[in-house]
Amino acid sequence: MAAYALVRSRRRRTLCLQINPSGAMRLLVPATTRQADIEAFLKAKAPWIERTLRRLNEAPRAPAFADGLSLRYLDETMRLRLDYRPGAPEVRRDGDLLCVAAADEGQARGALEFWYREASRHHALARIIHYAPLVGKAPKRIRIAGQKTRWGSCSPRGTISLNWRLMLVPADLFDYVIAHELCHLVAPHHRAPFWREMGRVMPDYEVRRLRLREIGTQLSL
Ligand SMILES: [Zn+2]
């Protein structure tokens, strides 16, 4: 039996076992619970505990932020070259190497994100110039965002927000989000007229939409 922290509470009426993502267990029980009842409860829960701990062990961990880390850049892959040194941080691309010089990891991550944000702004502009004439509408403003949970959005005032992490997915999926948000300038909802417009602008949008959903929004970096 793995170790667990026992928490007795006068307000609690039932036994409850919690396992946090690091595998630590907490057993919450009513104040008067007898040791025998606790043991019986844990015995009944044993298969679930084992399953949960195994799943946590198998869960993929984000790759370490270290020299050699592979970084996606649309359809290309770059390798991170870290150089820790005092002074202002610097990011420079050299072929398929992305060289980041900074004082520490926090600064290096910040500089890398800033670099990706700039790259995403340039790329988004170029793709909007391509797709806006097809849709027949242009955004009033483009904003680069960094939420973990959404790729893009379009405000009623015509501002299109795009997640800089779109640089970490294939270019045709970045295009899907561009076309999607531009089509919202025509139809500000997800009803049939919107999807008709999507189909006109990007006939294979459905495949791209599913691929993007598979990638999810939980990209590390
Ligand atoms: Zn939408």
CATH class as words, domain 70-215? alpha beta
Q: What is the pLDDT of residues 108-127, one digit of tens each?
A: 999 999 999 999 999 999 99
Residue 190 CA to ligand 1 centre (angstroms): 6
Residue 192 CA to ligand 1 centre (angstroms): 12
Residue 120 CA to ligand 1 centre (angstroms): 19
β-strands 25-30, 16-19 pairing: antiparallel
Query: For the chain, which residues make up each domain, given as ranges?
Result: 4-58, 70-215
What integer pLDDT is reported at residue 217 of this predicted model? 55
Residue 144 CA to ligand 1 centre (angstroms): 16
Residue 181 CA to ligand 1 centre (angstroms): 6
Residue 153 CA to ligand 1 centre (angstroms): 7
- Residue 214: burial class (beta carbons within 10 Å; 0-12, 13-18, 19+): exposed
**Tokens standing for residue 131:** 């797709």
Is a pLDDT exceeding 80 seen at residue 219? no
What integer pLDDT is reported at residue 22 of this predicted model? 78
Q: What is the pLDDT of residues 170-180, one digit of tens each?
A: 999 999 999 99
Residue 52 CA to ligand 1 centre (angstroms): 35
Residue 22 CA to ligand 1 centre (angstroms): 35
Q: How far is CA 78 from CA 157, 181, 185, in A?
A: 37, 28, 35
Which has more pLDDT, 92 or 214? 92
Which is nearest to 88 in space by CA: 100, 74, 77? 100
Residue 135 CA to ligand 1 centre (angstroms): 15
